[in-house]
Amino acid sequence: MAKRNGSCVTQMHRARQGEITPEMRFVAERERAAPEFVRTEVARGRAIIPANINHIKHQLNPIVIGTHFDCKINANLGSSATTSCLKEELEKVDMAVKYHADTVMDLSTGDNLDDIRQAVIQHSHVPVGTVPIYGAMASLGDIREMTPQIFLDEVEKQAKQGVDYMTIHAGLLQKHVPMAANRLTGIVSRGGALLAQWMTAHKKENFLYTHFNELCDIFAHYDVAFSLGDGLRPGSLQDANDEAQFGELKVLGDLTLRAWARDVQVMIEGPGHVPMHLIRMNAELQQKWCHEAPFYTLGPLVTDIAPGYDHITSAIGGAMIGWAGASLLCYVTPAEHLSLPNAEDVRQGCIAHKIAAHAVDIARGRPGAQERDNAISKARFEFRWEDQFALSLDPETAKAKHDSTLSDESHKDSQYCSMCGPKFCSMNITKETVGADPSVHPMEKKLS
């Protein structure tokens, strides 16, 4: 292991020393915020800029994650033992970024993990996260063979490669494991299940908890942000908001303070499967117990009965929890619960969650959030079809759907579409009738 001599290069450290870093300046411009405001939010821990110093060298475009900034989305990528190919993984990265992913996680669990991770980091302009216990498992036959040192070495290696944030399930303690026995779906986090198995076999406390300070040292040296994992997130509506889940969340709040004491950035992972009426409580308790550290949720899915469409069940819950305070929505794809996502699943997952995140920005009253909505609606009212496509989240799909019934190029100037035909187009009739003319609409000034 490299000598680190207690060095700390994190954005939080520099923010607390009063420095406005180039990364803070960059994200401030993207968010139309003052750089000094970004600095104070990062110093306070209410926002993070996951930017490993070794990924910055590979032309990372930093982002800021926090409730006072635009809601972000993450795409989980990665191979598995049954389905794996480096080239396909890089295509998925491109697909994810093209369709608005703000971060990607490489969750590979198959072969060639180091090579895939290195390629993903060098290929990706957006922050890259990992769950290092997957890599640490690669050389082992079984989680029971894991030692703290094997894990720390893996973390150091990945940090050196340039991973921007890592999921660390340090809040899942021995006392929580029996709580999962009463659940309908037990432990559904892969990392959480592995750690529970390790603790049960060795009758010892979670080594991520006992070695948390060493992890902080590594993270401080490269500026890796903690994504404190929710190993006990509910995997079914029935298990939502139970004592196991909230017991772990409280520990994550304590760990947040310990990381912050070492100037290490933190976000908190959240559920999962949660019925709508229990969603807000998740955001409120997380904000309270975890001292307003950014909340990074997987959905939540608002029903269990829609495999094949869980990008939608998750977008519904994501929109609600984002409005309630979550800062980063991890996407779920149509493949969830069924198979490893392919490139098309990645696209579907990204768009669904970008919709949710954008709806959150509008509901939160983020500056300028509705400008694009107004622009596309104006184009719609004026039958500027090409502009409607260009302003949409997925121009190719919008155009293809339009052209499926009216493919002739002349219809790009049509004052109607195949939904209503020329005689029943409401927008057309409106213009003839009430003379609404958005070219002189007050909105005009706001848009220009």
Here's the x/- map for a second copy, 205-244, by CB under 8 A: it reads as ------------------------------xxxx------
* Separation CA 4–CA 258 (nearest Å): 19
Chain positions 342 to 361 lying near a second copy, rule: CB under 8 A, are 342, 351-352, 355-356, 358-360
Tell which one of 180, 249, 326, 332 touches a second copy (CB under 8 A).
Answer: 180
Residue 277 near a second copy by CB under 8 A: yes
Residue 40 near a second copy by CB under 8 A: no
Tell which one of 74, 189, 241, 265 touches a second copy (CB under 8 A).
Answer: 189
Tell which one of 47, 218, 316, 328 touches a second copy (CB under 8 A).
Answer: 316
* Separation CA 284–CA 433 (nearest Å): 49
Residue 66 near a second copy by CB under 8 A: no
Residue 34 near a second copy by CB under 8 A: no
Q: Least separation, in Å, of the C-beta of 365 and a second copy?
A: 8
Tell which one of 181, 408, 409, 448 touches a second copy (CB under 8 A).
Answer: 181
Residue 290 near a second copy by CB under 8 A: no
Residues counted in the chain: 448
Residue 309 near a second copy by CB under 8 A: yes
Decide: residue 426, CB within 10 A, 0-12 exposed, 13-18 middle, 19+ buried. Answer: exposed
Residue 367 near a second copy by CB under 8 A: no
Pick the piece of the chain touching a second copy (CB under 8 A) from 74-82, 152-160, 164-172, 289-297: 74-82
Tell which one of 61, 185, 280, 366 touches a second copy (CB under 8 A).
Answer: 185
Residue 95 near a second copy by CB under 8 A: no
